[in-house]
Amino acid sequence: MTVIGWLQIAAVLLCTLATAVPLGRYMARLFSGERTFLHPLLHPVERGFYRLAGVAPDRDQGWLNYAFAMLAFSAAGFAALYLILRAQGLMPFNPGQLPGLPADLAFNTAVSFLTNTNWQAYAGETTMSPFSQMAGLAVQNFLSAATGIALAMAVTRAFARAGTDQLGNFWVDMTRATLYVLLPLAILVALALVVLGVPQTLTGSVGAVTLEGAQQTIALGPVASQEAIKQLGTNGGGFFNANSAHPLENPSGLSNGLVIWAMLAISAALPITFGRMTGSERQGWAILSAMGLLLVAATATVYWAETSGTPHLTALGLDPLAGNMEGKELRFGQAMSALFVAVTTGLSCGAVNTMHDSLTPLGGLVPMLLMQLGEVLPGGVGSGLYGMVVFCVLSVFVAGLMVGRSPEFLGKKIEAREIRLAVLAVLILPLVILGFTSASALLPSALASLNNAGPHGLSELLYAYSSAAGNNGSAFAGLNANTPWFNTTLGIAMMLGRFAYVLPVLAMAGALASKPRIAASPGTFPTTSALFVGLLVGVIVILGGLQFFPALALGPIVEQVLMRDLVTF
Amino acid sequence: MSQSSKPAAFDRALLAEALIEAVRKLDPRKLMRNPVIFVTEIGAVLVTGLWLRELGQGTGQPWFSGQIAAWLWFTVLFATFAEAIAEGRGKAQAASLRQSRCDVRARRLVLPDSAEPIWENVSALDLEPGDVVLVAAGEIIPLDGEIVAGVAAINEAAITGESAPVIREAGGDRSAVTGGTTVLSDEIRIRITAAPGETFIDRMIALVEGAKRQRTPNELALSVLLSGMTLIFLIAVVTLWGLAGYSGTAVSVVVLVALLVTLIPTTIGGLLSAIGIAGMDRLIRFNVIATSGRAVEAAGDVDTLLLDKTGTITFGNRMASEFVPMPGVTERTLAEAALLASRGDETPEGRSVVALARADFGLSEPALPEAAVLVPFAAQTRLSGLDLGERRIRKGAVDAVLRHLGRSPDTVPAEFRAAVDRIARSGGTPLAVADDGQLLGVIHLKDVIKPGIRARFAELRAMGIRTVMVTGDNPVTAAAIASEAGVDDFLAEATPEDKLGYIRREQAGGRLIAMCGDGTNDAPALAQADVGVAMQTGTQAAREAGNMVDLDSNPTKLIEIVGIGKQLLMTRGALTTFSISNDVAKYFAILPALFVATYPQMGALNLMQLGSPQSAILSAVIFNALIIVALIPLALRGVRYRPVAAAVLLRRNLAIYGLGGLVMPFAGIKLIDLALTHLNLA
């Protein structure tokens, strides 16, 4: 670890913090229905959409209607994307004459982009035509992110409102998230990426002659626009198979810093939005602090583990001071690779600029754990915030009693109904991740997909299901996931991870919204103090992470202790 | 059932009875209500079965499995024991209450409205609400009711533990009588208001026995969380079987059950109902009966206390606090005259003048001359005094004394008027003193605030609880007393409607209100309040409307009731936090032990350096069982409660139960492991 490395990490995180406040406040105004500086330009467009779709923008929905709208919209999105992928061969803009996708891969990919996971069981440049990329995947990149923001706003309103079961209008939230937040930011980031050297063209590929005189075909396409929303919407599905490690997706250290910021920007701003809308910006800061604390700890662990290197590399005569550079890009270096690893999994982004399979066992444990915690640090756009709200509710419930009052969060009493729904939500991740991993570990046909045996093989399985259920989408690699078993089970894991998680959370929001807001007093459990931040961190680790400890012990932990004895798999 | 008779927590007979009851509670049908312990019991049955099979087949490690099975049973037993012992403490009280409920005969009036007492002799069990019965001195009142005619002295010791008789009479706020109490004098007619089996005593019995105990809302929510955690760990352990299979580690079912039981929150799961029963019990021993556990929880949440001024904030009577002499008169002279004039005043106010004169000037009561004639205080004259021949000393209400002097209010000296005005403005009552036709000065009578009450209110404020004084005084007087007592707000010239309105306003602002009252006109407010404490001396309507009854009829108790409610919630929270943070150490004990056979390098995670895999697993299971027993006293006694701000409480309790819960099991498990290794048990 070097001072320069830490300064780079600090610079990116500080930039994120600096933009989080204005962006968070902007979104608070936007989703409270107030005017923003973009209204003169975009409001007519927005109204036009409502008129076209026949939406009454001021008619709010209860949680059930909101959930129904979200599910219907997602189902339609899934159907459209599935058809595009299946019929790719018949669609225009297909210079490479790429055929349609097989059923299981099309299902997996459609679910993947729909749920903001962007797990890719295929290599982008050899599977997807520019049409599929732009009209299929990029559309879902926007919409799945906007859906996440909309859901987060519905949950926020549960605390901002009292005595009503109305959580807002899904169509309005969707439209505003896309039009006022994602689109302007995506345009800015795409332009910045073009300036930094990322291609943006409809040309399929160019030919080049290498120094050895060989012919090389370099795939091209609308990369910058795809890359911008991939990062901003915490989607993570790369244009190229190599994702953000590819020089045309992420050409330099500077672009690397930019795309890390882009991943974090909205998710870090949403707690501020939450705080603003619920009337306690301090609450937003407390949530953001807990996210930041764990994220920095995760980054430090990866950074330390990777720069410590491995005894194998030292035995091969490599400079131990360089650490473990396998699978990393020289132009990013250890620090910014470590930050990318932590951020992309702390968020539900899943873009990678480093091959996670090549991380040291401890370095690989961190992204796995971050995904298993439920992608809340700071989590996917929207999903991170509502996941964090669930943890806040649980923290307040467990420890809140200790001040001698029945628990309340932001003035809302937390009772049996809320707890039942919160528990239902947190149950999903261990059930899906551990259930499918365990089943795959016993299934010989699934094990045939593994590149490695022993604990490392187990890590590959565990990683895949953690990534799918957490809607992350990054891959440990080393696992050939393009098989009917994995395409189907990972698809189910992604779906459960998104919808089975968010439905109870929405129901909880509905229950909370209708409760009166109890006035705060010195007897109220303090939820904005440093102590609460510490408590929240503890609850996330103990209630969110401890159940994965046995599985992790058999995977990366045992691999780490074996590494010292030069045992590999 | 007086406040002082605390049953010893661990009386030997009580322990034995609780132990029998604990075994009875092992019935799975009863345990189902408690999912955490129910899962533990299933685990115990499973491991016992495996142990028997190992014994039969001579395979495996029966010595190890047998010990695990035994400790799993102990875990379940300790949990049921905790509940049994909490219930046992109420049982003795229930038994003594039952004695007063035994079948009594009643004289039912055939023609209730007729003055002629024609009655038939029936069993109390055959009475119905609406019947009118005749009860004479020496008889037991059969059921709860209301006096429709007559007045009687009644011994309510059966309920309140207080043997001094109380007077009950028809009409007004003192008409309610309770079944099981004894009439000491006179004869009364009572209209029965409760059916047999639903009387106050019946409810008390059910309550102290915990027979009809409903889980309170917060307890229910906590059970949901605990069940959810149990399910999560069940998933983790069941899937571990597959993962371990992949890794080539054969993990026995015995060890998986051990892992599961140590991870699920058995500590709080085992103690949860004991905490609730003990909280209720604390209230009962405080001579307060809550009609539901919900009310006790609500007491912990209260934001605003409506307190009656008289009896709670001030002593019931006004007391002399100051002598204000007129120019040319010494304070001592005034005090002497006041002392003499008060000889004929036996009211508390008169005695307080005597007391002040003695305290301030060391005056002793001089022997009265033969010729002295006492003028006793009377409500009509509103003054008292002493005639020494021609010399006439008087003390009393200002207008009464002026009338006695034959002076009109306009002719009194400016100083006198100023003193009277000042006292009235400060909320006090001025009394004039005259000697031989001359105005000597004024005595300041004031409501004396109970010592320490101001500090209590400050504590309450620190806890975030507002205090509101309710008084019939005029706003000026009320404001003066309110500021002296340090309450946050006051309701002057309060009518029952004002109280109800105030409660509704506060509730609309999202605050929970507690109040106490005794009159029928208090009933709507008592019903509206989140915590309504009715006085045992109050009317039946008030007692029905409130959700608590104070058997001592002491309105000050409201403050303590809030404390008891908070203590209940805190105990629950503290043990939950402790139970959950225990898991970290248990992982570090069991996981390395589980896999060290396949991966010897896993020994690196054996932070506690436990002797062997068997002893590590066994130690964790034993710790898990013993911690329940160790915490029973805390569950019954409650976590220490101090009235400070929530932030301070949280910091302290999080340090003790959160951090303590994290660290303590490391030491505990290590010690048990040392003992096991030393005794060659594993």
Q: For residue B215, which residues of chain A lie inside 8 Å, CB to CB?
A: none
Which residues is A397 bridged to in the sheet?
none
Look at residue B9 and tell me whether its pLDDT is greater than 70. no
Between chains, do B577 and A399 touch, taking CB under 8 Å as contact?
A: yes
HSE value, Cβ hemisphere, 13 Å, CA-based, for A456: 21
Cross-chain Cβ contact B464/A524 below 8 Å: yes
pLDDT at B595: 86
Provide DSSP, B174-198.
G-EE-TT-EE-SSEEEEEE-S-TT-
B7 pLDDT more than 80: no
- A34-50 pLDDT, tens digit per residue, is 999 999 999 999 999 99
DSSP β-ladder status, B304-308 and B466-470: parallel
Minimum distance, in Å, between the CA of residue B536 and any CA atom of chain A: 27
Distance from CA of A370 to the nearest CA of B (A): 17
Question: Model confidence over B245-277: pLDDT tens digits?
Answer: 888 877 889 999 999 999 999 999 999 989 988
Nearest-neighbour CA in chain B from A555: distance (Å): 9
Answer yes or no: is pLDDT of B6 > 70.
no
Residue A478 contacts residue A359 (beta carbons within 8 Å): no
Separation in Å, CA of A398 to nearest CA in chain B: 6
A162, A441, A564: residue with CB nearest B245:
A441
**What b/e sequence results for B187-198 when a residue is b if at least 16 CB atoms lie within 10 Å of its CB, and e otherwise?**
ebbbbbbbebee
Range of lowest pLDDT (A75-89, A309-323, B118-132)? A309-323
**Per-residue tokens: A132:** 């599929």
- In this prediction, what percent of chain A has a pLDDT beyond 70? 100
B328: left (phi over 0), alpha (psi -120 to 50) or beta: left
pLDDT, residue B2, reads 38
- Please list, residue by residue across B262-288, b when 16 or more beta carbons sit within 10 angstroms of its beta carbon and e when fewer do: bbbbbbbbbbbbbbbbbbbbbbbbbbb
For residue B643, give the nearest of B520, B461, B519, B435 by alpha carbon: B461
pLDDT tens by residue, B174-195: 788 888 888 888 888 999 988 8
Tokens of B400: 């009464």
Told to judge if B522 belongs to the known catalytic residues of this protein, a careful annotator would answer: no
Q: Smallest CA–CA separation between A65 and chain B, in Å?
A: 26
Of B440, B437, B430, B351, the closest CA to residue B398 belongs to B430
- Which residues from chain B sit within 8 angstroms of residue A454, using beta carbons? 247
Q: Which of A20-29, A321-330, B327-336 has the highest mean pLDDT?
A: A20-29
A contact residues 536-565, partner B, Cβ 8 Å cutoff: 538, 542-543, 546-551, 553-554, 557-558, 561-562, 564-565
Q: Measured between CA atoms, how close is A393 to chain B, in angstroms?
A: 11
Q: What percent of chain B has pLDDT over 90?
A: 30
pTM of whole model > 0.90? no
Helix (H) or strand (E) run with residue A158 in it? helix A139-160
Sign of the dihedral through C-alpha B84, B89, B92, B95 = negative
Render the burial of B635-653: b for 16+ CB within 10 Å, e for the rest.
Answer: bbebbebebbbbbebbbbb
A188 has a chain B CB within 8 A of its CB: no
Report angle CA B582, B587, B592 to the nearest 5 degrees: 150
The token duo for B6 is 């605390």
Q: What is the DSSP letter of B394?
A: E
Is A514 part of the contact surface with chain B (CB cutoff 8 Å)? no
What is the C-alpha radius of gyration for chain A, rounded to an integer number of angstroms?
23
Tell whether B303 is within 8 A of chain A (Cβ). yes
A423 inside 8 A of chain B by CB: yes
Residues ≥6 apart with Cβ < 8 Å to A316: none
DSSP string computed for B199-249: SHHHHHHHHHHTTTPPPPHHHHHHHHHHHHHHHHHHHHHHHHHHHHHHTT-
* Facing residue for A406 by CB, picked from B297, B511, B653: B297
Q: Which residue of B has its CA nearest to A544?
A: B232
Q: Is the pLDDT of residue B464 over 70?
A: yes
Residues A227-272 pLDDT 10s? 999 999 988 888 888 889 999 999 999 999 999 999 999 999 999 9
In chain A, what residues touch B654 (CB-CB under 8 Å)? 399, 402, 531, 535
- Is the distance from CB of A323 to CB of A334 less than 8 angstroms? yes
Output the pLDDT for position B509: 81
Mutation for A interface: B579, B601, B644, most A CBs within 10 A: B601
B583–A542 CB contact, under 8 Å: yes
pLDDT digits (tens, 9 = 90+) for B667-676: 999 999 999 9
Which residues are registered as beta bridge partners of B512? none
Mean pLDDT of all residues in B528-541: 84
Q: A508: which chain B residues are within 8 Å (Cβ-Cβ)?
A: none
Sole residue written with tokens 């209860």: A62
Q: Is A404 in contact with B641 (Cβ distance < 8 A)?
A: yes
Residue of A179, A195, A103 lying closest to A143 (CA atoms): A179
- The pLDDT mean for chain A works out to 91
Burial A487-507 (b: 16+ CB within 10 A, else e): bebbbbbbbbbbbbbbbbbbb
Which of B 443-482 lie inside 8 A of A, CB atoms?
461-466
Closest CA to B614 of B593, B600, B595, B599: B593
Residues of A in contact with B634 (CB under 8 A): none
Q: Is the ipTM of this complex over 0.85?
A: yes
| B661: enclosing H helix or E strand | helix B660-678
H or E, element range at A455? helix A454-469
What residues of A are in contact with residue B510 (Cβ under 8 Å)?
162, 411, 516-519
| Closest chain B CA to residue A402 | B570
CA-nearest of B639, B511, B271 to A408 is B511
C-alpha to C-alpha distance for A137 and B308, rounded to whole angstroms: 70
How would residue B5 be classed by pLDDT, with cut points 50, 70 and 90? very low
Given the residues B144, B202, B281, B308, select the one marked as catalytic.
Answer: B308
The answer to whether B298 and B531 have CB atoms below 8 angstroms apart is yes
Q: Is B232 in Cβ contact with A406 (below 8 Å)?
A: no
B600 contact A CB<8A: no
Of A361, A353, A400, nearest in space to A531 by CA: A400
Residue A64 scores a pLDDT above 60? yes
Residues of B in contact with A394 (CB under 8 A): 225
Cβ contact A457:A447 at 8 Å: yes
Question: What is the mean pLDDT of the segment spanning B427-436?
Answer: 87
Rounded to an integer, what distance in angstroms lies between the CA atom of residue B591 and that of residue B500? 60
pLDDT in tens, A496-533: 999 999 999 999 999 999 998 888 888 888 899 999 99
| CB proximity A180 to B under 8 Å | no
Query: Which pLDDT belongs to residue A147?
Result: 95
- DSSP labels, A299-332: HHHHHHHHHH--HHHHHTT--GGG---TT--TTT
Contact at 8 Å (CB) between B49 and B278?
A: no
DSSP for residue B643: -
Residue B10, pLDDT > 70, answer no
Q: What is the mean pLDDT of residues A82-97?
A: 88
The one-letter code for the residue type at A53 is A
Under the phi-then-psi rule, with left for phi > 0, alpha for psi from -120 to 50, and beta for the rest, what region is B406?
left
